[in-house]
Amino acid sequence: MKTETKKDVQETCQSTINPREWKGRTIEIDDAGTGDLVGNAFIGFRDTSTGKTIFQSVPVVLYNEENKNDDQPKKHILKVVIKALRALNHSKGDRILLCRGNCFDLVREYFDENKIYYEAAIVEGELQDAVEGRFIQHLRNLGVRSHNLTVDSGIKRYFIVFNWVCRDFPNRERYVKTGFPSWKKKWRKIAMDRYHNSKRGQTQKRELIERRANEIYKVMLEKPIYVRKTISEGR
């Protein structure tokens, strides 16, 4: 049984689908939404021996420019990790398989300082599906209705939620992780431009429909349609 807590940065991460053998209990920890443009982030915890799963949220407001620069998301994640491990009755004999994402930087420091055993892992399978599903449910609750929205993160999901923001920019920017550097440098202006162009297009379309309706109405007044009655005489 390996008991050291310091991790070699060159160590190859194991997958939670086929982890190394362990005689005690294993707890998996993974995240979802920490790199997504819109919405809260979520941290998932799974006790592999019982299948018990816990979710903790990281509010989107912690990802605004002021809070993100102060590492508030990472500090909050550390707090919820400590809280969840207590809820799962974590003990020194347990192994933690921790996602290698940088959102857990402070968690790794805490584990090392407190001699809590963990191993770097690529979290796949049940917990990954569960925590990504929880994030998608959150996006649905915000109003993202695209049928193309799935648990698969990446560029496709980015543009689904980005386009959603563009369609109602004034009311939806509050759901954006505005502390992401690329939002301020590039994407915010694009979102604003798309919104205003869309509104102008809608206004022009509405004006065109109204103008055409008025033209038709004017023609009807100038050239009314007469209905000639046909009388059938009985014999």
pLDDT digits (tens, 9 = 90+) for 28-78: 999 999 999 999 999 999 999 999 999 999 999 999 988 988 899 999 999
Task: Dump pLDDT digits (tens) for 194-220.
Answer: 999 987 545 555 555 555 655 565 666
Say what the pLDDT of residue 137 is.
97
pLDDT in tens, 85-117: 999 999 989 999 999 999 999 999 999 999 999
How would you classify the pairing of strands 41-47 and 26-32?
antiparallel
Q: Which pLDDT value is given to residue 200?
A: 57
Q: Count CB neighbours of 133 within 10 A.
A: 16
Predicted confidence at residue 52, as pLDDT, reads 96
Which class is domain 14-144?
alpha beta
Contact 32, 42 (CB under 8 A): yes
Question: Which 8-state DSSP code applies to residue 186?
Answer: I
Q: What is the dihedral of CA 150, 143, 139, 126, to 10 degrees?
A: -50
Alpha-carbon gap, residue 61 to 75, rounded angstroms: 13
pLDDT digits (tens, 9 = 90+) for 158-204: 999 999 999 999 999 999 999 999 999 999 999 999 999 987 545 55
Helix locations, the chain, DSSP H:
65-69, 72-87, 105-113, 126-142, 155-167, 169-172, 181-182, 188-222
What pLDDT score was predicted for residue 11?
53
C-alpha to C-alpha distances, 17 to 77, 122, 127, 209, nearest whole angstrom:
24, 9, 10, 58
Residue 13 is given by DSSP the state P
pLDDT at 68: 87
The pLDDT score that the predictor gives to residue 227 is 56
The structure tokens listed for 160 are 């689904």
